[in-house]
Amino acid sequence: MKVKIILLLFICLIITGCGNYRELNQIAIITGIGIDKNKDNYEVSVLIANADKNETSPKEGQSEPTVYFGTGNSLTKALKVIERKTPKQLYFGHINVVLISEDVAKDGFLKVADFLLRNPESRKKFYLILARDSKAKDALEIVSPLDAFPSQNIASLMGTNSQTQSITNSVTYSDFIKAILTPGKEGVLPSIKVKGKEKNKDNLNEISPNTYLELTSLAIFKDDKLAGFTTNNESAAINILKNTVKQSIFEVNYNNDIVSITTKNVSSKIKIKSPNKFDIKVTGEARIAEINSNTNLNNKKVIKKIENKLNKKIENQITKVIKNIQQKYQSDIFGFGNLVYQNYPKNFKKIENKWNDVYFPKIEVKVKANTELISTGSIENTIRKEKAK
């Protein structure tokens, strides 16, 4: 009996395996996708990681990336055009970034979301970014001296800046789909611009690149369509409310000088009092990054005054962005409506279709910031104060 079992296991090991197994040299590994729109057609660009090229590689023994283009009235047809141009089978398992143009975003993201969702190879964890004032395919072709691979360049920009810059935050495909499908909530996306005069692969050899990519403010969506863009200050306030901020920089006026303050561990909590009244509490830590006036930082009263100015600045900035989004875009990107949905489900069901346009613009929001200034930096006083001693 034991012999039969062992023989059966051995046969199973021989005949089983990966049904969809393919050799590396048989597939074209896609690391980035750009989606543009031209009238009724989609223009799809794919960045292939392992394309064979005769030109000098970025690294010895490594092939250069190549971008292929295809056009069709659907993403599937556009990709079929690309397949006819490459001898290898397209593979979607290693996508880092997907860029969509403003035209695609204005037409509705859900029109292009289905293909990415249904594809069994893609992991749905790639960055989703809006290409601002340019085509998505143009952004996909920009190389950087610091990261010669375009998709990795964009992914690195997102990863680094979401940690150190409060004006942007990394949004994955899954995050965005969840946001726009959640009752009483709308989505936002980071945006990116192509800066410079022309695309140039010689960027790799330039001290000052002719063309580069720059992350800009957040893009506001309403009903899965692009509604507009925020300012940098508005983006910072939005990210505080969405609890996606790692570090922020604020400037306050004190003693006829500008004090630069960095914050960390900032978080916000929205509390619903009624279907049209909300309280927001913001907490966090801060430290003085720069101050040039003759100010005694050993004085606790001085520190308290600066701290109060910082909290007032945060309160005003958050209140202002909420009112602006209410009146200008009528798009509840903050999720106030979702809190109504959770706490007053029957009421929200009656007003859900009118929430953005009628009810959200009229809600009352009170903001209270309580960030604590815990450090004045690596020196106790300002340089001017030390000199005056």
Cβ atoms of 47 and 67 within 8 Å: the answer is: yes
Domain ranges across the chain: 25-229, 231-389
Residue 11 predicted with pLDDT over 50: no
- Residue 160: enclosing H or E segment and its boundaries? helix 150-164
Q: In this structure, is the dihedral angle defined by the CA atoms of residues 318, 192, 284 and 256, taken in order, positive or negative?
A: negative
Q: What is the pLDDT of residues 187-211, one digit of tens each?
A: 999 999 998 765 555 554 555 567 7
pLDDT, position 359: 98
Look up the pTM and report it. 0.83
Confidence at residue 292, expressed as pLDDT on a 0 to 100 scale: 79
Q: What is the pLDDT of residues 278-327, one digit of tens each?
A: 999 999 999 999 887 777 888 889 999 999 999 999 999 999 999 999 99
CATH for the stretch 231-389: 3.30.300.210
Which two tokens mark 21? 């197994």
Task: Give the relative orientation of helices 173-181 and 110-118 as an angle to the nearest 10 degrees.
Answer: 130
Give one DSSP letter per residue of 236-269, joined into a string: HHHHHHTT--SEEEEEEEETTEEEEEEEEEEEEE
pLDDT tens readout for residues 333-389: 999 999 999 999 999 999 999 999 999 999 999 999 999 998 875 455 544 444 445
Q: Which residue would you say has higher pLDDT here, 258 or 65?
A: 258
- For residues 75-88, give the mean pLDDT: 91
Query: Has residue 224 got a pLDDT over 80?
Result: yes
- Residues 6 or more apart from 42 whose CB is under 8 A from it? 35, 36, 71, 72, 73, 74, 75, 78, 104, 112
- Cα separation, 240 vs 310, in Å, equals 14
Q: How far is CA 153 from CA 31, 348, 362, in A?
A: 11, 43, 42
Residue 7 pLDDT greater than 50, yes or no: no
